[in-house]
Every structure is written in structure tokens, then in C-alpha cells.
Amino acid sequence: MSFGIATTAIIPVRDEPRHQSEMKSQILFGEMMNVLQTETLWSKIKLDFDGTEGWINNEMFQIINATQYNTIKQAKTIILDTISEILIGNDSHPMRVMPGSELHLNGPQSNQMDICNQLFSLKYRTSIPIKKNTRHSVISKAIEYLNAPYLWGGRSLYGVDCSAFTQIVYKQNNIILPREVENQFSIGKIINDMEQSMPGDLAFMANNDGQICHVGIVIEPFKIIHADSFVRFAFIDNNTVYNIHNQSNTYKLKYIRNVID
């Protein structure tokens, strides 16, 4: 079996091996994967972080062997929590990578990742903050996504869907969530009353048929932030999500889950 690591900022994961195929998700810089099948231009992969399977373009990632994979996996890893600049080799033009990207510090210097003798360096060395209050940090990072556009399959500030929004915000706080809404719903413990919810809890919403179809993050009781056309705030009134932008009711609040404590 071969493995891979993302060496570009964002890699679309397609349902089929062609650019016109539906984008199921995205892979961020530094995320690692198993390579399940390789063709001339495309490879079928399974992402380590959340198990997403799909097809990616071969020019957008680096295939590595088991030894290289294990060496990188054992290195100290930084989860970048802001847009960052990465220098590739001696190129003076940086590549901008998204929050949630990974830098595995296995290079000769403390800010470098070595992939098959190609160095990727964090341009600006920064101390990694210690997150003393996870709930406060979750809310702070979520708010940084305000006005990011909704994009089916997206996992970045330039386009994100509802479950990727919660997943990436929590990843920046070292909490692993599944990729899809229905799988995120299986994590944590149910909070029975919105009044008992805390900042950072997950709010799950249902469609008219009662099926869980949407997720957001509780800001405070009766207020959430979620990706719906774009990332924005919404209020909960009588278990109904109220869209303050077009003054209409949208989803029905179904459950709240605590995935932090």
C-alpha cells in the first residue's frame, strides 16, 4: 500500500476521476492519506483525518512510502489556526494555506517539513498559543469564518459547507469530528434543553421530514453560528432557526450535543 500527503493548499476530492465530477470534500495542506488506487492522472484516496474517500489529481499531492509516512506521522504536528504562508524549497513566493492545515515538523529546522527531500517552511515563525479555554477558543475561531461563502464540499475560508465548518473549527482546537452531519451527531452527549447549552456545543437541525440535515455551533443559548448561504449568526425561537437576514424561519432545532467536556 502507498500513502500520500497534500502539498498544495486545497485539493478537491471528486466522486469520479474527472474535474467535472461532484466535489465531495477537500483536503488541506499537510493532511495525509492512504492511496487506494492509482491511474494516470488521478488517484483514489482515503483521508487519514476523517476517512473521506474519493478521487484527487495526482499533481496536487506527493506519494510516499510506508517508511516516509511513518516518519512524518511520528513528527510533532502543528494544526495551523490562521491563513499562513509556506515557502517551498528556495522559492521566495509563498503558498497561502488554510486554517486546519497541518505542518509536520520533521525538517532540519524547527519550522520545516521535509517531504521526499523537498522542504516546506512556515514563513513566519510564531509561538503556538496554549488554548486554556476550549469553548472560548471554539467560538473565537468560528467567528473568524463569518461571511465565508457556502460551498458544497468546501473546507476553507473561501468556501465551506455546514459540517466542514464545524469540523475545521474543532480541528483547530484539537477535537476530531467526522466529516458528515449524520456522523457528527453520533459524537458527544445530548443536551436536553437549549437553556442548558454552552458556547461551543453543536446544534443539529432537521428538515421538514424530521431528518438531521444541518449543524451549527452554539454561541450562547438561543444563538448559533452556521454555514447557510454564508457563515452567519442565527437565533433559535421556539425550536425554530430564525434567519435574521431575510427574516424567515428555516430549520427546526432537533438536538444539541456537548462534544467538548
Last residue of a domain, one of 89, 122, 155: 122
Cα–Cα distance, 201 to 198 (Å, whole number): 6
For the cut 90, the answer to whether the pLDDT of residue 91 exceeds it is no
Task: Give the pLDDT of residue 132.
Answer: 65
* Residues 85, 64 share a domain: yes
The count of structural domains within the chain is: 2
Q: Of the candidates 155, 152, 149, which has an alpha carbon nearest to the alpha carbon of residue 27?
A: 155
Q: Is residue 151 part of a domain?
A: yes
CA dihedral 80, 84, 89, 93 (to 10 degrees): 170
* Residues 168, 254 share a domain: yes
pLDDT confidence bin for 126, thresholds 50/70/90: low
Task: Give the pLDDT of residue 129.
Answer: 53
Q: Is residue 129 part of a domain?
A: no
Structural domain range at position 167: 134-258
For the cut 90, the answer to whether the pLDDT of residue 209 exceeds it is no
Q: Is residue 127 part of a domain?
A: no
CATH value at residue 159: 3.90.1720.10
The string of pLDDT tens digits covering residues 31-72 is 999 999 999 999 999 999 999 999 999 999 999 999 999 999
pLDDT confidence bin for 192, thresholds 50/70/90: confident
Last residue of a domain, one of 122, 147, 174: 122
* Residues 165, 93 share a domain: no
**If DSSP codes are grouped into helix, strand and coil, which group holds residue 170?**
helix
For the cut 80, the answer to whether the pLDDT of residue 125 exceeds it is no
Contact at 8 Å (CB) between 252 and 168? no
Q: Is residue 140 part of a domain?
A: yes
Instruction: Give the DSSP per-residue string, 137-154.
Output: HHHHHHHTTTTPBB-TT-
Q: Is residue 128 part of a domain?
A: no
Contact at 8 Å (CB) between 115 and 121? no
For the cut 90, the answer to whether the pLDDT of residue 127 exceeds it is no
Last residue of a domain, one of 122, 152, 181: 122
Cα–Cα distance, 87 to 68 (Å, whole number): 21
Q: Is the pTM of this model over 0.75?
A: yes
